[in-house]
Structure 1
Amino acid sequence: MTLAQLGAEVIRVDPVGGGSDHLRWPLAPGGSSLYWSSLNKGKRSVAVDMRSDEGRELVTALIAAPGSDRGVLIDNVVGRRWMANEALTQHRSDLVHVRVQGYPDGRPAVDYTVNAEVGIPQITGPEEGGTPVNHVLPAWDLVTGLSVSTAVLAALHDRMRSGDGAFVEIALADVALAGVANLGWLSESADRGQGRLRHGNHVYGSFGVDFACADGERVMVVALTEGQWTALKSVTGTGAVFDALEASLAADLTLEAERYRLRETIAAVLRPWFVARQGKQVRDELDAARVLWGRYQGMADVVAAHEDGAHPVLETLEVENGDTLISGRSPMRWDGEHGNAGEPVILGQDTEEVLADVLGLGQEQIGRLRSRGVIDGP
């Protein structure tokens, strides 16, 4: 999807009838998968029976099609000898081949399983909790997808200079391990001989926590820098209180570590200011003081804001069965513009056109393939 939104012609090859994600939740009222439709927008969709010899030959031909802007494959295949890199490079030696895996040894994994294994659920949730709390955002899937895009672009850049292809393997488990290691979390655990404790909604290592307003609205307030801390004290009128607190506890709250150590005390001092004000007043005053903050919202609030034109990165698209889809444009703004999100597709809708354009097959050949069930499409 990322590559398609950057202008690449992306051909997605699915089995006839669709893969396991073709009807994955959430579903639209008409039955189409909002998940599948959104992630595959902007691609050309081809449906091929890859269990048949003819189907495998077609897919191999698409992979190895000639041209300086072709010969690029992204897959997550395990155990298909005909799609092994050494088999495919027999057909195109400069193939750029990026393979996504669960584990480096080829065993399966998904975001939720690798996330559990790197310890994130053990530090997520309320302080008093004892059981793991799964993170609902599949962050490692998102990072892996962007890593794939980076690998493709780097390998293409090298091919343009050297003429050489590349075989790049990216394991979801490695993405997760590298992610938590690069944040310093594994080193921290090794140094302390134990994992980090849960901190609820507190920001680890600095000051940040949620506050309730008089009308029940909640805001997340963060003070990472000395300037942000000064702004927060100023708007809440608590400077004198914190000066006295510093003197009595021999603390220096200009330091992140000190604000973190005294986070509960700081929150207790600030809480009455928020509780005494309606949400709008809190928001207006925090903005005026340049405090770093965010409002807790439901996704219905985000939808309403989008419908009012508040989020240019979002786009409403029409999909099959009369359903609509709110999807994302590329977050990259080129000369101030996001670009289009990409047109939604129907499974297999481009099969015949791709076989004609890329492989030069005639209508009679395509018709025979369709009649034998080797290809499919609407």
Structure 2
Amino acid sequence: MNSAASIPSIPPQALAGLKVLELGQLIAGPFAGKTLADFGAEVIKIEPPATEAAAGGDPLRQWRMLHEGTSVWWQVQSRNKKSVVLDLRTPEGRELAARLIDEADVLIENFKPGTMEKWGMGYEQLSARNPGLIMLRISGYGQSGPYKDRPGFAVVAEAMGGMRYLNGEPGRAPVRAGVSLGDTLAALHGVIGVLLALQARHASVSAEAPKGRGQVVDVALYEAVFNCMESLLPEYSAFGAVRQPAGSALPGIAPSNAYPCADGMVVIGGNGDSIFKRLMIAIGRDDLATDAELASNPGRVRRVAEIDAAIGAWTSRRAVAQVLEVLNAASVPVGRIYTAEDIAHDPHYRARDMILPVTTPEGLTVEVPGIVPKLSATPGAITRRAPVLGEDTDEVLGRLRPER
């Protein structure tokens, strides 16, 4: 697979014809762009040129493990995109970017609030030139409010959104997930916002607005995290309860935990009423399966320590493979805790095309995550490898309409 070639057999894609300009860097904005590109949008990524002090391009090109000077992560985050080099610090670069925005449906940016306005590229200016423009703005704290000018990273957003406090063992320092969840959650909320705005634009088409009216999609990292915090706030509001970290358990829902095996660990979700009964029978605890107090979740929560001890006593005497075999046969949700190696060799991942190969310009074949979600009629696809810095500059700028 190369940057110019496409897969000839793919069906029509859901976002074919959508033009997206991506000004963001690193994770949140580019992840949103990647998701749109996976479903057929033409995503043009604007990257800064190299200087004496910097290599140029999105800094993600240099993050984590590199091959021939480029991160293999780059092959995930920038697949299906085109790379155009423009220096937005110069008037010439900003004018070329504005001309590209004139022809775009969607603009993605994740700079600190006020940066685009400082460059004369706020939404008021851009929408005056392109009334149908949808502008996705991802930032740490949003475009308004007392914290809007603070720098915001996912690590801070996860803390402010309530997630970090809950992660870890009781009485110990909170831990972070091993990936930047705040960025990814914000990106996915951004994609939802873009699709909603596209639908609203379609509904607003008129003689005065032949493309319909665009709008701003304002996504704050901390709000994307907070939106996923389930019962955290209402429990505090109603009862003054501050939810506490609970390790691998899920407080208030039982049983749901990680359990030791003779050669590793498994996670088991036995919290449905009928599932719990099947689980207890499978581990030889018919007495708990028929206990009236344990027939529903409130009773199980009161006796969760007893239940977890019973499950752990059973799993600890068996290998992971045996636990999986017995509980899968009983239709109890159970799974091993996967490493990258487990994922790479799992047949279900392969059967659902969730592991796909791409070839870098240097000839390295890298396996990357497949497309999510799966659409039956207009599926996504990887049609281009991630671009070399500035690879598409001449092609993209060469088809700009003449200046007004």
Normalising by the smaller structure, the TM-score range is: 0.7 to 0.9
Report what 1:111 is aligned to. 154
Rg larger in structure = 1
Report what 1:365 is aligned to. none
- Looking at structure 2, the residues matched to 13 and 309 of structure 1 have their Cα atoms a distance apart, in angstroms, of 33
Report what 2:394 is aligned to. 352
Deviations 1:152-209 (A, max 9, x none): 22222222221212122222122223332xx121121233435212221112221112
Which amino acid in the other structure matches residue 32 of structure 1?
T
Report what 1:273 is aligned to. 314
Mapping for residues 175-190 of structure 1, pairs under 5 Å: 175-180=224-229, 183-190=230-237
In the TM superposition, residue 288 of structure 1 has moved relative to its aligned partner by 0.9
Matching of residue 41 in structure 1 with residue 83 in structure 2: no
| Conserved? CA contact 1:32–1:323, under 8 Å | no
Structure 1 spans left out of the alignment, 5+ residues: 362-378
| Conserved? CA contact 2:110–2:138, under 8 Å | yes
CA gap of 1:285–1:49, structure 2 versus 1, over 3 A, is same
In the TM superposition, residue 46 of structure 1 has moved relative to its aligned partner by 0.8
CA gap of 1:179–1:240, structure 2 versus 1, over 3 A, is closer
Report what 2:12 is aligned to. none
Report what 2:165 is aligned to. 122
Mapping for residues 285-304 of structure 1, pairs under 5 Å: 285-304=326-345
| Conserved? CA contact 1:140–1:175, under 8 Å | yes
In the TM superposition, residue 342 of structure 1 has moved relative to its aligned partner by 4.1
The answer to which of 39-48 and 151-160 deviates more is: 151-160
Deviations 1:253-296 (A, max 9, x none): 12112222212111212223222222222211111111111111
Mapping for residues 172-211 of structure 1, pairs under 5 Å: 172-180=221-229, 183-206=230-253, 207-211=255-259
Report what 2:287 is aligned to. 240
Q: TM-score, normalised by structure 1?
A: 0.84
Report what 1:158 is aligned to. 200
Report what 1:226 is aligned to. 273
SS in 2 for 1:321: coil
Structure 2 spans left out of the alignment, 5+ residues: 1-33, 51-55, 205-211
- Looking at structure 2, the residues matched to 62 and 38 of structure 1 have their Cα atoms a distance apart, in angstroms, of 25
CA gap of 1:308–1:259, structure 2 versus 1, over 3 A, is closer
Which amino acid in the other structure matches residue 287 of structure 1?
N
Q: TM-score, normalised by structure 2?
A: 0.79
Aligned partner of 2:359 among 318, 324, 332: 318
Report what 2:5 is aligned to. none
RMSD, aligned α-carbons: 2.4
| Conserved? CA contact 1:115–1:121, under 8 Å | yes
Mapping for residues 82-93 of structure 1, pairs under 5 Å: 82-93=120-131
Which one has a larger percent helix, Structure 1 or Structure 2? 1
Aligned partner of 2:184 among 142, 154, 171: 142
| Conserved? CA contact 1:111–1:138, under 8 Å | yes
Report what 1:80 is aligned to. 116
Percent identical among aligned pairs is 28
- Looking at structure 2, the residues matched to 125 and 235 of structure 1 have their Cα atoms a distance apart, in angstroms, of 30
